[in-house]
Amino acid sequence: MLLLALAGCANITEKPVNNIQQTVNQEKFQVKKNPNPKEAYEFTVTLKDAPDNLEAVSAYAHYIIPDCRYDTNKLMGARANFQATISVPFEKVSSNVYKGTVYFDALLDEDYLNQGKPCHWQWRL
């Protein structure tokens, strides 16, 4: 999933986050961003009749791990996936055109559940 937020007359900057905290059944996990992602998907957003003072504030990409599910309620059999949402660098190309890049491999695959195999992050639309 990619979320895009736009605002007029705004000058907001966000520092990149290198680590994302994830809590599962009171246990904390550090989700690490890939320092050298390679699987890029570049996108362009063109706005019709955009106001002159419109600036890109932020875009976000949502990731899940479908192959490593954890119990949220063992008695009820409820399970969930690890999830993370990260900001996506966004650039104003012209008065009505914005460009960004989402990386499919933005997050590092790790053995979060201590099962001897890595959990694989996937970008979701």
Q: What is the pLDDT of residue 22?
A: 63
- Given a contact cutoff of 8 angstroms between Cβ atoms, the answer to whether 18 and 33 are in contact is yes
Task: Tell me the domain boundaries of the chain.
Answer: 2-8+20-124
Mean pLDDT over all residues of the chain?
77
Question: Which of 24-28, 39-43, 78-82, 107-111 is the least confident region?
Answer: 24-28
When pLDDT is averaged across residues 38-50 and rounded to a whole number, the result is 90
Query: Angle 27-28-31 (CA atoms, 0-180°, nearest 5)?
Result: 140
Residue 45 has pLDDT above 80, yes or no: yes
Q: Which two tokens stand for residue 105?
A: 């491999």
